Amino acid sequence: MKIKEQLSKRSKKEIKQAGSKIKARIVALITDFGTKDHYVGTMKAVMLSINPEIRFVDITHEIFPQNIKQAGYLLWATYKYFRAGTVFVCIVDPGVGSERRMLGVRTKDYIFLAPDNGLLNFVFATDNVLEEIELDENKFRACLPKQISYTFHGRDIFAPVAAYITKGMAISRFGKIVVPRKIKENLFVDSASSSTQACILHIDTFGNIVTNIQPSATEMLERIESVLIGDKLISSKIRYYYEAPDDVPCMLIGSSGLLEVAVKNDNAARILNVTIDSHVEVYWK
Amino acid sequence: MKIKEQLSKRSKKEIKQAGSKIKARIVALITDFGTKDHYVGTMKAVMLSINPEIRFVDITHEIFPQNIKQAGYLLWATYKYFRAGTVFVCIVDPGVGSERRMLGVRTKDYIFLAPDNGLLNFVFATDNVLEEIELDENKFRACLPKQISYTFHGRDIFAPVAAYITKGMAISRFGKIVVPRKIKENLFVDSASSSTQACILHIDTFGNIVTNIQPSATEMLERIESVLIGDKLISSKIRYYYEAPDDVPCMLIGSSGLLEVAVKNDNAARILNVTIDSHVEVYWK
Amino acid sequence: MKIKEQLSKRSKKEIKQAGSKIKARIVALITDFGTKDHYVGTMKAVMLSINPEIRFVDITHEIFPQNIKQAGYLLWATYKYFRAGTVFVCIVDPGVGSERRMLGVRTKDYIFLAPDNGLLNFVFATDNVLEEIELDENKFRACLPKQISYTFHGRDIFAPVAAYITKGMAISRFGKIVVPRKIKENLFVDSASSSTQACILHIDTFGNIVTNIQPSATEMLERIESVLIGDKLISSKIRYYYEAPDDVPCMLIGSSGLLEVAVKNDNAARILNVTIDSHVEVYWK
């Protein structure tokens, strides 16, 4: 009853409209499966067997091993650019086969499927989650293969669920409706944050270091004095990579609105000897 | 005549039905071409020029250099999940340009194109091959580019053949029909095998070591005493990765039904100092 | 007026016909964005939001960092195999955000979008460019996101432009028409070249070294005495990789008609200790 009450607070029309948008049949994938295995191809095979009209977009399959935060960031940095109706299948799942839960989440425009391990925290923290489901295999046993493996739920559970959703099935069909969670943790650091502590969310192909420091859209880098990254203090500011002086690590606002540290025509992470777990502090003016 | 007799033993209706299913227009690719070259893109370009309706699924393009057995395993682990009618283009082809033969193979649901070097052995050994063709360029010269390169038959031969097959052409159109071969070699090792010798088929992105040991579906790991891999004897058994104790290499049944060796949250191949050519033995109770 | 005069020299009918072919809705991508970031997925998301019918072909996203020449070569080696109407989005763009120009180029069959940094030189040098445009954001501001990042024009400019082109918009809609440039530099070296200097365009997944030496289609390798690559003189000639003796670096004509150096079943670049910047000379008979 409690859940029902809460649900009734939301516009049922809004929910229905969102559901009716699921027509683009785009499935976007983000996993740590790599590209040298058959895992991703097999998931696509399963989905195409159920719905041959699905269009796949690979966000990436090279999430650092078990790096749930990095996966969450990359998902957050890209998902808003997708067509309404896109279904996101997000698998970084060291707990596969154990009792860990699997989630289905619906926002106004999108549906997300992921293990319940924090991967969707950026979505919960920044978007309006209309519906949250704990997947329950017993509710859709007929949609699944006879034998479900212990180690590849991407193929045996997530892929069929995603494919049936692209055919118009509501996510509530696949599990227990729960009250959408609120994430209280501050995933981003801004000038209003009381602490100087920040962190690295991602190191990109070019070696650019993406932090969780989120300058405001109006002040940009103005209020930032300097950033300590590893044991190096960065205070030079640029707008784009090419603007940097040679060999000087600089901060800039990257394409997803977060503070990045870069070295022009070079690999900042290597030069600063930084990994995704390195320490970051930000000093505001 | 001999071939014709053998062919007549099979239901012609069965063959015809299989042929009529080729409508999904899915081409699945497995190669060792890597992803930093234009090779895969060029093959797709050629195929789309012939049939713009083709949908591609990349199984992987990162087969270890010339590792035909690994390619055969990965193909076997995924192909049954594809929609009926899928055409598999399988290219690990160190002999390209030489007199090596190229095969077209049809099972009830699928068509496979590959060089005749063992890549399809897992298919021959475990599926019912209805038709086997030796590709003969002279039979379809008009479908091919004027000049066929010596080094890129993926682009100049396999891609056009695959594309025309997705348009409904029978594989028999592309070569000489031969009697489907039987593979007598035991590709998998099970409790009925007389020898303890096994081998590694694949090391996955996570470092999990996939062997050719195939426990029966009912006995699972029960009958297995231990597995020697490199110089390490493994006897701990788990059902899923997360169940393993820390730092202990364990065996489990992987998602394709084969015995794997894994280390929880770590890279078993690196920890055990194992490559795909390392020695494996299995001791049954 | 000068431009108009020059334009009038070309058949307007030819231009119109080419434009009317843009129906295949294939977008081919070549970038140095790598595959571990969300960059490529985000560009595809943006394009699918504008035109959900687009089919993507990834040529490669692993261009060596800032290696514009390599990207130009790989584009050249593949683009002619694509269906007429394909739009190529080519991004190796160390100058992103600076005043560097962005180009739209149309040939009889294709449209190319790229930063103006030499990436399209192989196209200019070997194809008939019918139309060249300098992209001017002010001409299509309404097609772009409200805020254009300084660092990701792939997402904010190239992707929307490409998507609208697949919907039938002419490239002239997106900028200033300029007189198509002529490239005078010899990108390839042949037997008519006065100098012995050549260069490496690409090192492929297998370690094969692709040079810019372009033997004539009739003479093939006949006129070549030897090739100096790094500090090693190569004079053995083969037609295909398998034909080579073991452990002997050999030259052959690769699948794009250029002289390659290869070692059978091995990595020539590693064995010869060669990088893409290594010195090459060719000695003609």
Contact: A36, B83; criterion CB under 8 Å: no
Q: Which residues pair with C233 in a beta bridge?
A: C228
Interchain proximity B36–C242, CB inside 8 Å: no
pLDDT digits (tens, 9 = 90+) for A178-200: 999 988 888 999 988 888 999 99
Residues of chain C with pLDDT under 70: 1-24
* Region C2-178: CATH code: 3.40.50.10790
- Chain A nearest-CA distance from C97, in A, is 5
Facing C206 at nearest CB: one of B44, B65, B150? B65
Q: What is the ipTM for the molecules in this complex? A: 0.91
At residue C155, the 3 state secondary structure works out as: helix
Q: B60 vs A36: CB contact, 8 Å cut-off? A: yes
Q: In chain A, which residue ranges form alpha helices assigned H by DSSP?
A: 2-9, 12-20, 39-50, 68-79, 121-126, 153, 159-166, 268-271
All CATH 2.40.30.90 domain ranges of chain B, comma separated, are 197-284
As its CATH architecture, domain C197-284 has Beta Barrel (2.40)
Question: How big is the CA angle at A84 (ends A80 and A85), to the nearest 5 degrees?
Answer: 120
- B-chain CB neighbours of A58 within 8 Å are none
CB distance A60–C66 less than 8 Å? no
Contact partners for chain A, using 3 or more CB pairs closer than 8 A, are: B, C
Distance from CA of C146 to the nearest CA of A (A): 13
List chains adjacent to chain B, taking adjacency as at least 3 C-beta pairs closer than 8 Å: A, C
Contacts of C37 in chain A (CB under 8 A): 60, 74, 202, 204-205
- Condensed to tens digits (0 to 9), the pLDDT of residues A40-53 reads 999 999 999 999 99
The residue written with tokens 């998301």 in the block is: C45
**What is the sign of the dihedral through the CA atoms of B166, B167, B171 and B175?**
negative
How many angstroms away from the CA of A58 is the closest CA of chain C?
Answer: 6
CA dihedral B247, B248, B252, B258 (to 10 degrees): 90
- List the one residue out of A38, A101, C64 whose CA is nearest residue B82: A38
Q: What is the pLDDT of residue A17?
A: 46
Cβ contacts (< 8 Å) between C205 and chain B: which residues? 32-37, 39
The angle subtended at Cα C212 by Cα C206 and Cα C214, nearest 5°, is 105
Q: What is the DSSP string of B226-283?
A: EEEETTEEE--B-SSGGGSPTT--EEEE-TTSSEEEEBTTB-HHHHTT--TT--EEEE
pLDDT digits (tens, 9 = 90+) for A94-109: 888 888 999 999 999 9
> Which chain B positions have a beta carbon within 8 Å of C254's beta carbon?
149, 151-152
Does C4 touch chain A if contact means CB atoms closer than 8 Å? no
Q: Per residue of chain B (285 residues), what is the pLDDT tens digit?
A: 344 444 444 444 444 444 444 455 999 999 999 999 999 999 999 999 999 999 999 999 999 988 999 999 999 999 999 999 999 999 999 888 888 999 999 999 999 999 999 999 999 999 999 999 999 999 999 889 988 999 999 999 999 999 999 999 999 999 999 999 988 888 999 988 888 999 999 999 999 999 999 998 888 899 999 999 989 999 999 999 999 999 999 999 999 999 999 999 999 999 999 999 999 999 998
- Smallest Cα distance from B98 to chain C, Å: 7
Is 60 exceeded by the pLDDT of residue A15?
no
Burial class (CB in 10 A: 0-12, 13-18, 19+), A182: exposed
* Distance from the B41 Cα atom to the nearest Cα atom in chain A, whole angstroms: 16
> Which of A:225-244 have CB within 8 Å of C?
239-243
Instruction: Name the residue facing B205 among A37, A95, A98 (closest C-beta).
Output: A37
CB pair distance less than 8 Å for A204 and C96 = no
For tokens 């839960």, name the residue.
A101
Whether A6 shows a pLDDT value over 50: the answer reads no
Smallest Cβ distance to A150: which of B60, B204, B240?
B240
Any CB–CB contact under 8 A between B168 and chain C? no
Residue C61 distance to chain A (closest CA, Å): 10
Q: Does C246 touch chain B (CB under 8 A)?
A: no
Q: In chain A, which among 111-140 make CB contacts under 8 A with chain B?
A: none
Among the partner-chain residues C35, C74, C241, the one whose CB lies closest to the CB of B151 is: C241
% of chain A residues with pLDDT over 90: 80
- Contact at CB, A60 and C41, closer than 8 angstroms: yes
Q: Quote the minimal CA–CA distance from C27 to chain B in Å.
A: 11
The predicted structure's pLDDT at residue A139: 92
* Chain B stretch 39-68, residues whose beta carbon is closer than 8 A to a beta carbon of chain A: 55, 57-63
Residue A75, pLDDT above cutoff 70? yes
- What pLDDT is recorded for position B192? 86
Q: Is the pLDDT of residue A1 over 80?
A: no
Mark yes or no for CB contact C49/A82 under 8 Å. Answer: yes
Put simply, the answer to whether B59 touches A38 (Cβ < 8 Å) is yes
Q: pLDDT tens digits, residue range C214-234?
A: 998 888 899 999 999 989 999
Tell me the two tokens of residue C247: 């452990």
Q: What is the pLDDT of residue B24?
A: 54
Report the alpha-carbon angle B8-B14-B15, nearest 5: 70
Please indicate if any CB of chain B lies within 8 Å of the CB of C26.
yes
> A263, A250 in Cβ contact below 8 A?
yes
